[in-house]
Structure 1
């Protein structure tokens, strides 16, 4: 079918002096328009992301079209380093504070949970979970500030 459509397209292009419509190709081949459209769209050649876009050949499609952040090596490394840093910081807390923060922010790969949900899970009040959360975050801020200051004073 791809070959028939290509042949009909070439023939009609010569006759009409312009590219034919899907309808004209379908009439010539005596098939449905949807078939011509589907085959034409599926038989396109892939385009290389390294193909130059401009006449000067300096810019490629890959530079113009941005993919998801996860596929960019710089972003992947940055994300990995942030995870390692977060793990190190969480290890400075006591077990309960660490567990509550992991649940609250969804750091275990699960969706984040509310203070009320965490409270039911740990048999604590929502208010107590909120307090522990605040204390833990405060401790993390203090430790990260201390760590940053240590970097400046180490000679």
Structure 2
């Protein structure tokens, strides 16, 4: 009996363990802590919570239809992109080569019309822009409301 167990152990031990399968989740949202992928899923969320802006990177509670943002690092890990016109400075810090100072400068330089507009930000040159290009997008900026 002992030989059988040793034989089984060796067989399991010899099985190569490859990397876990990955899947790009774009657009991605967290709904009550569960990952939701794709435009069709987000359309369903909009139907359940019509006043909530359910877009890439949203973190939504269905109980009260409250929306926030998932951490930028989570969004990037899922293959998503960060909108430089709407992301909080903390989300921007998840981008390669962006720390607190550059994140603040990006926020202050808004709105952007294209990813290339990031070159206006002091500290973002050709090399850093090339590193950011696949990780960022430029959404339509919301109009500024006049304060009475």
Larger Cα Rg: Structure 1 or Structure 2? 1
TM-score, reference length from structure 1: 0.23
TM-score, reference length from structure 2: 0.24
